[in-house]
Structure 1
Amino acid sequence: MSFLVIGECVADIVRAPAGSDAADRVHPGGSPANVAYGLGRLGRDVTLLTQLADDTTGRLIEAHLKGAGVRVETGDLPERTPSAVVGLDARGQASYTFDIAWTLKSGPPADLAPGHVHIGSIAAVTAPGAAAVLAGTERLRERATVSYDPNVRPELMGEHGSAVARVERCVTLSDLVKASDEDLAWLYPDEDPRTVAARWLALGPAVVLLTRGAAGSLAVTRHHTVAAEAPPVTVVDTVGAGDSFMATVLDALAGQGRDALGALGAEDLAGLLRRAGAAAAVTVSRNGAQPPDRDELDAALQRFALRSGRGW
């Protein structure tokens, strides 16, 4: 099965902690690019439709992606590769300051026929490029399943009501949606996440996944609500954790059609959350968005199960 991911690449410039002698670090990033990279690390056939400038960071990111086996399609060349300055607090939690434009003019090439399309983050909701993302997704979803991760960046979302409407349009196009507790807190302040999940299910998806950091994760379908604990891990930084979770979910569900997604049982969902949670835990245990390959993921699952003593 082949995957197509549509969205931005970003050079993440991670600031050294105040008072330290360490230098700033530059990591390839961007939520959709991280998902494509994660799928490549897991051995999946994946193409990323994105924008990269012919500059130092653009070449760095392209080499990084191709190193994991990702095919890179650049729709057109921006003046510079987007960047984000990343600050980490004492717990490794990331905050971002962006220099990003998304101007994609055309959607996926006509000869691409993926089995699954993933969209999300800035590229799915930011004009003018979002129009090409959504038009391409609408065309391909006749034959492919679709996933979406809003990965909300409040600084880039514009007026709140319009932003929510754009996010909900993407939800409507999707078969599976993943969101973080921080995403939902910005989109729907003071609403219970399970209420939001139920409302999103009514828009069309078969599965809604909610990630809650150290509190674990939640899977909601029309028939089941399943929670999973987060595995024990020492956090280095949280950059790319949600994207690693998303890539692992897509890998685990590869080949499942719309009807099969809607029929997932409670045990299926629990296993899915454990596997994706293990991938996220590996990612937060090291610097940058560095998801595990398949061997690392399997080893992490075994390690966490033994450490918990409860068949985690």
Structure 2
Amino acid sequence: MPDPLDLLVVGECVADIVRLPDEADRVHPGGSPANVAYGLARLGHRTTLLTQLGPDGHGRLVRDHLASAGVVVRTDGGAAATPSAVVALDAAGRASYTFDIGWTLAPVTVEPAPDHLHTGSVGAVMEPGSAAVLAAVRAARATATVSYDPNVRPDLMGDHAAAVRRVEECVGLSDVVKASDEDLEWLYPGEPPEKAAERWLARGPAVVFVTRGGDGAFAALPGRTTAVPAAPVEVADTVGAGDAFMSGTLHALAERGLLGAAARPRLHGLTPEAVADVLRHAAASAAVTVSRAGANPPDAAELRAALTAR
């Protein structure tokens, strides 16, 4: 068993207001980076989230939720209100979002220095806070591996060309990248996701994971791809599925001793057999999450049970 790592997630928290016809609104703690931090902590990892939260009811809900899993929350104290999103679900449980988000993160030093840093989503592209996120990523690379998930939200990405440039900058700073096929379609309309993943690999990551909803997921390594089917599961909703995939991915890499700056050479030599096992963990984590309401990723025992069932 590798020594425990200090994992840092940088990005937004969001109160997801889930809205269904003829039902009262349900509020779930959310936000892609916050979901990843929560998933990592539930899987037993020492996890800190650097974010912004307001002194309001939604902020208290999110803090209590994260604390229940053991996430240490650090803020810059700058948020006047906790970001929120109205989540509308269709008959198949697929989610669409309407956001009320401001992101003004100021530079904050987190000690101890992390062994791995994860970022993405709105926090990495929305000004002015994204500048602090990118500075944290650059500073961390000396001691940490880096992962990134663009988690594209078109309404919040701003100018398309500028958003693509920022996403590609983040990809170039990362060792592990995860995106959905829908993310890639928005970024590169009409381009096959395999082609986009190949081009991202040329920017420096060791591996690019691409999720494809009910069609499973694949991982791109230099010169080859490895795919895994989606687990058969009755879908409650898809909220947080990609974030659970991300936390499952990082958990599997950590269990193999492949996170942390000292492990970077081994991570960049990831074998097809190892990446197939990582994909299995990630897909199982996502399957547990979609089987129940909200962004509710598995703990370690639930993930083991899901892997056994697969």
What TM-score does the superposition give when structure 2 sets the normalisation length?
Answer: 0.95
**Secondary structure of 2:202's aligned partner:** helix
Aligned length: 300
- Percent same amino acid among aligned pairs? 61
The residue aligned with 2:211 is 211
Write the distance in 1 (CA, Å) between the matches of 2:10 and 2:159. 24
Q: Does 1:12 align with 2:25?
A: no
Structure 2 counterpart of 1:169, one-letter code: E
Can you list the C-alpha shifts for 1:142-192, whole angstroms capped at 9, x where unaligned? Answer: 110000000000000011101100100100110000000110010000001
The residue aligned with 2:229 is 229
**Secondary structure of 1:253's aligned partner:** helix
The residue aligned with 2:181 is 181
Structure 2 counterpart of 1:286, one-letter code: R
2:206·2:270 contact (CA, 8 Å) conserved in 1? no
**Secondary structure of 2:54's aligned partner:** coil
Deviation at 1:223, TM superposition (A): 4.0
The residue aligned with 2:37 is 36
Structure 2 counterpart of 1:239, one-letter code: V
Give 4+ residue runs of structure 1 displaced > 4 Å after superposition.
Answer: none
Deviation at 1:299, TM superposition (A): 0.6
Q: Which runs of 5+ in 2 are unaligned?
A: none
1:49·1:108 contact (CA, 8 Å) conserved in 2? no
The residue aligned with 2:251 is 251
The residue aligned with 2:303 is 297
**Secondary structure of 2:49's aligned partner:** strand
Q: Which runs of 5+ in 1 are unaligned?
A: 305-312
**How does 1:1-312 map onto structure 2 within 5 Å?**
1-16=5-20, 18=21, 20=22, 22-109=23-110, 111-254=111-254, 255-256=257-258, 257-304=263-310
Deviation at 1:77, TM superposition (A): 2.9
1:54·1:77 contact (CA, 8 Å) conserved in 2? no
What TM-score does the superposition give when structure 1 sets the normalisation length?
Answer: 0.95
Write the distance in 1 (CA, Å) between the matches of 2:67 and 2:31. 15
Between 257-266 and 194-203, the greater mean CA deviation after superposition: 257-266
1:75·1:106 contact (CA, 8 Å) conserved in 2? yes
2:151·2:179 contact (CA, 8 Å) conserved in 1? yes
Deviation at 1:112, TM superposition (A): 2.8
